[in-house]
Structures are given as structure tokens and as C-alpha cells.
Amino acid sequence: MTLTWAQLRDLKCGELEGAADGWGRASNRADAGRDRIETQLLTGLRGTQRGAAAEAAVGRLQQMSRNLHYVYTECGLLRTTLNSLAHELRIQQRALREALDDAESLKFTVHADGSVTYPAAGEGLIDGKPLPGGTASVGSLPGLLPSSGLVAPNPNVAKAQDIADRVAKAVRTAAETDWRYARILRRLRAEEGLKVPDATWTDAAGDAAAVRDAARGYLKDGIPRDASPAERKAWWARLTDEQREEYMAVYPDQIGNLDGIPAVVRDAANRDNLQLLMGKLEGRDDEKSETQLAGLREIDRQLREGRQPPMFLLGIGDQGNGRAIVSFGNPDTARNVSAYVPGLNTSLDEDFAKNDLKRAWDTAKGASKYDHSSAAIVWLGYDAPQTPDGLASLSVMGDERAEKGGKSFNGFMAGLSATNETGEPHLTAIGHSYGSRTVGAATQHDGGIPGVGDIILVGSPGVGVDRAEDLGVGKGHVFVGAAENDVVTKLPSKQQSAVGVVGLVAGGPKAAYVAGDIADQADDDLWFGKDPASRAFGARRFPVNEGPPLVDGGGFSLDAHSQYFDPKRDAVSADSIALIATGRSREIKMEEPR
């Protein structure tokens, strides 16, 4: 049926918004049910029951939670779709009414087909009589033909044509809007059955993308992407509950990764976005998608496991080598917050989800022994360098990615400072391997790393500066852990490497051995500047185990580079990191520098 201007004029957009409210209530009920399952039923069941029956019950509850998660997502999309439709139709309705009001004030008549009749006006040049009226219709060009010089145009012609065109444009745009949203609404339907398989989440990812595109003018333009974290926090606080719910439903990827938004909100948004991302990647068969999907599934598994300290998903994305920011403990309510930046070859994959997350978890558990008000974060918010198999050079370990990553890390830490509720939190930045270079780059921006009072560098090939005091927190607050058998902490400088250093990590163990063997142990210059563990650098060196030797009877090993956080493999180092992260570094008996 063709839309008429009378139908557009009389359209009750409030009814669409009322329907949207109904879907919103359904979405909220599903979310409340899911929350009760996750925070009460599953927690109680895991804590009190054991055996096959308990495991089966956990599986059923998790399936129910997943189903409610899907209902929450789809109902939220329906709400925003209807609200966005009402928003766009109301804009055209307003434009139509303005045109009709102008016609009424001029005593014009707007007909059902949109044509506009105007009265006689003006005067003829010969007889002085008013020029006759007429009718303007869409697409006609009355009064625009060249004048003979004897007859002046009726001044009402152009006004009537403008009104006719405005009426037609409002109706045409409203009809196009209605057609576009009808297609989206037809897509928002669930498969039959009691389960929500991966394929359904793939469809949900497409649904969310369609609604995001349609709601661009309604919601997206309001997100303060270019604002400071403090300004974003204030923006979020000003929103109504309904507005927040809509942003969460349609733009979980935006809200979940926006520094300055409270941690509990980012966590909720990113858990939703995690499901959409897995659905999106599920339908692809390229190597990158399969690798990232494995990492996302492992993160999802841990989120459902109910770990303690509790997990908060503060960032997730598939851009570049992938993004993931996970906190063990709520960083907004903790007095002590540490953020660990991983290094070379780190990307969103299963290894990251298992091992890098464990490093943050170990730090959180260690810190909780000294102060229960602690949170530990792993921050993969940048593209760390990747060494392809067989690479015979460390040239990939340049400064560019550290510089870009350092800027992003500063934005994240500024967000933590803005949302933390304790007043003056103790923030610690931890850089491991190339991540220490990224932390070093972050310190060189104006004001240093926001809120950070202590810096920990472990397994560092240098940080880009030659003195601890250049990191902006005072050299007494820069701590270094360097295992005797960690070859990365003994990388020769770029000048020395010209003699033939080959790929340390991806080049294989033999290459690592060559690198360690030719490094000048008497020289305190490393790949990225002065050795942070050296006397000349001036940091405080905390004790760590020497680590497994690079070469022993079992062959080559780089394990000494990866055990700093592990309380089983290096209890001394892990405990030192925990003490520093809780502001108790005075209890550590420091080692002599190199």
C-alpha cells in the first residue's frame, strides 16, 4: 500500500515506542533471569554439590543462561529497531507538518495526491489585474519558464512548488524508512526449539550489524568517541536507564571498549559482544578467524567457570591481531590495580587465553594475600609484533607498535583512574618482554601513564629510555625482574646484532642460543636501550629465580622468559610482583643490579 501524506500526518509514533518498551521489558526479564542463574544458582551449585548429577545440572543451567542471553540480545535489538523507526518517522512527520502549516498560513490547499493549489496574486504589467492562481505538483516547473517581459510570475508559484516538494520528500523518505525497517524486523526471529546453537549466534551477529547500521542516526552519533575518559563517564551517568539499555543492546562493541565507562557496564557489554563475535567468526574458515575463535571460546569458558577473583571482560575485539582486556577483580572498587602488557608474538588466540590470562590471575591471587581490595588486568589493547616462522631477523621488534600501543594503554589507564571509586587507587603498570617497551613508550606522553605510581618490567629487552627516572614515576618506583637465564634480557644492541643475530623466538632455539652466546655480557646496552636491570639504568631489581638454562640435556629452552608470574615455577618473582602491586615493595629484599 502506498503511503499518503495524510497517513504520515496521523501516524502515532508513540505506539511504536510503546511496543519498543514491551520488548525492552522482555529483554530486561531475560537478563535478570540470566543474572540469577550465573550469580546465584550456578555459584551455589558449584560450591555445594559434586558428582555427575551436579555436573549435568550445571550444564543445563548454562544452556538456559545461554538461551536467556540470546533472548536478551534479540529483544533488545527489537526495542531499538522500533525506537529507531519511530525516531526516523517522527523526523519526516515533523517536516510534513511544517510544510502543511506553511500552506495553511498562505491559504494554500494541499490535495490528497500532494499537489498544492495557490490563489491569484501579484499584478499584470499591462492591466494591473492579479495574476491567476494554479496548482503545483511534484516534478512540475511552473513559473520557471523565461518571462516574456510583459507578464511577471505569480509570487505564489515558487512557494506552492516548495511546499509540494517538501510534502513529497517527507512521504517518500518515510516510505523508504518503513521498507528498510520492515526488512530488519523480518530478520529478528529465532529458530524453533529449546536450544541456541552457534549458527543462531551467527545470525544474531548479522542482526546486530543490521540494527547498528539502521540506528546510526538514532544512537551511534551520540557516543562520545573523541571525548576524554572523564567526559565519557559523565556522559554515561547522564543517560536514562532506557538509553543505557539500548546502547548496550545495539552497540556492545562500542560501549564495552570505551575507556571511562564503568567496569561492570563494560563487562556486561563485552560478554554480549563476545557471543556476537563468536557467531560472526563461526561462519568463516580463514586461519585468522579460526585462531581468534579458539581464543574467544577459551575466554568464554573461563567466564562461565565462575573463577575467583571474579573475571571482568573490559575489552574484546577481532581487529588486527585481536583485542582482549580481562581483569580479575573489579578495578573500579579495588584500592590496588595492576595492568600487565604482554609482548612479542602475543595475539588473541588460545595460548593467550590460557597463559596470559593466567599471569593476571596469578597476580590477582598473590595480591589478595596482602590486600583483598586488589585487581589484576591483562591488557591486549594493541598489536604486538609477530615473528613469522623461520624469520632470521629481529627487525620486526621496532618501536612503532610500542608507540601506538603506549598511546592506547594511556587511554585505558586514564579510564581506570576516572572510574575507580576509592579516591586514590594505587595503579601499577607491568610490562613483560616487548610489553615493557610499550609501557616505556606510554610513559613518554605528556603526564606519563595516568594514575600509575609504580612500574614493573620483567623479561625486558629495554624500554626506550636509558634511566629509570625517565619513566616519570621516580626511579625508586621502577622495579625490574631479570632471570639469569632469560636471553631476552641479554639481547645485544641493534648495533651489536649486525654481526649476525638471528630470530630469537620464532627463529627457533638454536637461533636463541646464538643470540645469547654472542651477546656481550659486559655491555649494558640492549635492543631497546639500556638494560633495565643494570646499575646504570638505576631501577630497583627484585629477586627472581635464574630459570631453566637455555641449553641443557633436554635441548633448548626459553622457559626462563615466561615464568616470572608463575607462583609454582618462580614463587619468589610472583610474590615480589604481588607485593609491589599492593604497595608493599618495602618488604622485598632487593637484589644488586647487573
pLDDT tens column, 238-251: 999 888 988 888 88
Contact 125, 150 (CB under 8 A): yes
Grid-cell match 641493534, residue found: 494
Cell of 116: 498544492
Which range has highest mean pLDDT (33-37, 126-130, 326-330)? 326-330
Contact 572, 543 (CB under 8 A): yes
Closest CA to 85 of 11, 9, 4, 31: 11
**Is 12's pLDDT higher than 80?**
yes
Measured distance CA(136)–CA(154) in Å, rounded: 12
The grid coordinates of residue 271 equal: 560478554
Assess contact for 405 and 438: CB atoms under 8 A: yes
- Kindly report, residue by residue over 418-452, the tens digit of the pLDDT: 999 998 899 999 999 999 999 999 999 988 999 99
Question: pLDDT at residue 507 above 80?
Answer: no
- pLDDT confidence of 194, banded at 50, 70, 90? low
* Strand pairing class (551-552; 555-556): antiparallel
> Using one digit for the tens of pLDDT, what is the confidence trace for 446-473?
889 999 999 999 999 999 999 999 999 9
With both helix axes pointing from N to C terminus, report the angle between 52-105 and 198-214 in degrees, rounded to the nearest 10. Answer: 20
Is 451:426 a contact under the CB 8 Å cutoff? no
* DSSP assignment letter at 65: H
Return the biggest CA–CA distance within the chain.
117
Cβ atoms of residues 245 and 24 within 8 Å:
yes
* DSSP label of 354: I
Q: Which segments within 275-347 are labelled E, that is strand? A: 311-317, 323-328, 336-341
Amino acid at 96: L
The set of cell numbers assigned to 54 is 551436579
- pLDDT grade for 143, boundaries at 50, 70 and 90: very low
Residues 188-211 as b/e (b if ≥16 CB within 10 A, e otherwise) read: beeeeeeebeeebbbbbbebbebb
Range from 1-15, 192-206, 310-324, 522-536 carrying the lowest mean pLDDT: 192-206
Evaluate the CA torsion angle 92, 95, 99, 101 in order and state its sign.
Answer: positive
pLDDT at 1: 61
Distance CA 42, CA 46 (A): 6
For residue 388, the model assigns a pLDDT of: 64
CA dihedral 79, 82, 87, 93 (to 10 degrees): -160
Please determine, for residue 46, whether its predicted confidence score (pLDDT) is greater than 90: no
Stated pTM of the model:
0.80
Residue (of 526, 529, 541, 392) closest to 456 by Cα position: 541
Q: Are 313 and 256 in contact (CB under 8 A)?
A: yes
Distance CA 474, CA 472 (A): 6
Q: Measured between alpha carbons, how far is residue 266 from residues 47, 249, 262, 428 in Å?
A: 27, 12, 6, 21
Of residues 586 and 180, the one with the higher pLDDT is: 586
